[in-house]
Amino acid sequence: MNNFRVLGSSKVTSLLLIVNIIVFVIMTFTGGSENIANLVRFGAVVKSEVANGQWWRLFTASFIHIGLPHILFNMYFLYQVGPVFERLYGSRNYLIIYLLAGIMGNLVSFAFGNPATVSAGASTSLYGLFGLAIGILLNYRGDSMLSSFGSSFLSIIAINIIYSLIRPGIGVLGHLGGLLAGVILAGVFPIINRSLQTSTQLISVTAFVVLSILFVIIGLRSAV
């Protein structure tokens, strides 16, 4: 019951849950969420299509799930930890971080993924939240409470990365890209009632932009 009350005050997390579920239901009744053609039609990342100018797939793929277990796992995680990060960063910045992490995760899949692979899922954005935890640990080392919060995620992150590496069919590239984005974005957006050095923010913004451009260039070259 407490979780539902917290979720009720976390408007962005609630909205993200609703959007992901609605998209999954629509896909289920219009061809299936595991049908490749339907996944492509709804906006999954396909290397050749992105290279041909369909950049919007880097955004839409984060709201598409492949099969019921996929969406159940991701939405459970979002339900559990989304409100925590939304309270830490505020609804607006939390949404920006979530979306940017998803885009960078999908960019990494575009850059280094197999051209024959179709990738999708909110995991890119959710790993961005893992990355935020690492970023909090790095950027707020003098704050014992926040450092402890960041440290509490390290074992969870390690377990999930190992699971992603050993289980076939999981888009580990997108996960790592989202994780990287979260670490960087923790240096761009300060936690509510905390501050970041301007130099840290400038370096982080630059890193995010430069890496994004680099991934685009690599993806375009490898898609030929």
Point out the catalytic residue in the list 70, 175, 204, 212. 175
Q: Where are the alpha helices (DSSP H) in 2-153?
A: 2-8, 11-28, 36-42, 47-51, 57-60, 68-89, 91-112, 123-139, 144-151
- Say which of 10, 123, 125, 204 is annotated catalytic: 123
Q: Give the up-direction half-sphere exposure of residue 66: CA atoms within 13 A in the CB hemisphere.
A: 19
d(CA 14, CA 19): 9
Active site residue 175: yes
Is 9 noted as a catalytic residue in this protein?
Answer: no
Beta carbons within 8 Å of 45's beta carbon, 6+ residues apart: 57, 58, 61, 106, 109, 110, 113, 118, 119, 120, 174
- For 157, phi then psi, to 5°, come to -60, -45
- Which residues are part of the catalytic machinery? 123, 175
